[in-house]
Amino acid sequence: MKLLRFGQKGLEKPGILDADGNVRDLSSHVDDLGGDVLTNEGIARIGALDTKSLPLVADPGRIGPCVVRPGKFICVGLNYADHAAETGAKIPDEPILFMKATSAITGPNDNVIIPRKSKKTDWEVELGVVIGDEARYVEEADAMKHVAGYCLINDVSEREFQAERGGQWTKGKSADSFGPIGPWLVTRDEIADPQNLKMWLSVDGTMRQNGSTRTMIFGVSFLVHYISQFMSLQPGDIISTGTPPGVGLGMKPPLFLHAGQTIRLGIEGLGEQTQLTVDAA
């Protein structure tokens, strides 16, 4: 299934794509796409519905973030061997974890806001993993049972804030609009192999990232297992699993975003995003 949220910010409704790619309104069956709705039981209830009997949304308008109010937005750094190489970083022995503020989350086609005093705002196409059933100390062999599905993420990053202003990476990852997610939450049954998905990103029509989840150092099942050793993962939590090469920081010379540019990105089976960059007010 491809689940989505549509409507103006703060007024989104839950929806589902039917077999013809039309949006159907789920709001008479679920309040929203978050929490227990995303457990295995909740997903099964949605899957049992007759999609064609749901109200047709002729014009869904704005597409919102595909998950509402996640408790955690966990990111994995340097998780692609070829991306680590372009930045000159050592391949990590264990996953590098950091948090992105949930207030950074925005719709897949909403504007990306360049923060005040930003000099090095950058792009990162990433595979997002959305947790379904609670995961606590899970074994890798059981990890996928705790995944509700997948989504496309642009892990927008301000590199100066991230690496040159002291402390942890979080301050360079958490500005408003730095977490576009969606357009869809694609349930795990639709993605046969999350470790074999093509992914790409362009800026103003120039391809900047053209990679595959094949080059991930730590795969989805290992990441869910690993993270659950340090914190419980709750329904609706999001894991952003890292980016392939082609980020602005890795170019020679580095190349960063400025207002008035168009970012497009996509992952095989997970849809596409388009964002316009604008300056912060």
Condensed to tens digits (0 to 9), the pLDDT of residues 53-95 reads 999 999 999 999 999 999 999 999 999 988 877 777 788 999 9
d(C-alpha 186, C-alpha 147), whole Å: 11
My answer on whether 87 and 211 are in the same domain is yes
Fill in the DSSP letter of residue 115. Answer: P
Please compute the mean of the pLDDT values over residues 184-209 and round it to a whole number: 98
Give the residue from 14, 31, 57 where a domain finishes. Answer: 57
The answer to whether 196 and 213 have CB atoms below 8 angstroms apart is: yes
Is 7 found in the same domain as 119? no
For the chain, helix (H) and strand (E) counts, in that order, are: 4, 19
pTM tops 0.85, yes or no = yes
Name the domain boundary from 57, 85, 102: 57
Q: Which two tokens stand for residue 242?
A: 């890292």
CA angle (76 as vertex; 248, 33 as ends), nearest 5? 105
Q: List beta partners, residue 129.
A: 150, 239
Q: Are residues 216 and 121 in the same domain?
A: yes
Helix (H, G, I), strand (E, B) or coil at 213: helix
Q: What is the 3-state secondary structure (H, E, C) of 164-192?
A: CCCCCHHHHCCCCCCEEECCCEEEHHHCC
User: Is 68 among the domain residues?
Assistant: no
Instruction: Answer yes or no: do 25 and 108 share one domain.
Output: no
92 in the same domain as 144: yes
| SS3 (DSSP) at 150 | strand
Residue-averaged pLDDT of the chain: 96
Beta bridge partners of residue 13, listed in sequence order = 6
- Count of domains in the chain? 2
139, 257: one domain: yes
Domain membership flag for residue 268: yes
Residue 264 has pLDDT above 80, yes or no: yes
By residue range, what is the domain housing residue 51? 2-57
Closest CA to 189 of 127, 152, 145, 239: 145
Q: Closest Cα to residue 247, out of 95, 77, 113, 133?
A: 77
The more confident residue out of 236 and 163 is: 236
Structure tokens at 72: 């955690």
Q: Which residues, 6 or more positions from 101, have their beta carbon under 8 angstroms from its beta carbon?
A: 73, 170, 173, 174
Amino acid found at 216: M
The pLDDT assigned to 90 comes to 82
Would you say residue 223 has pLDDT above 90? yes
Angle value at C-alpha 45, between 272 and 1, nearest 5 degrees: 20
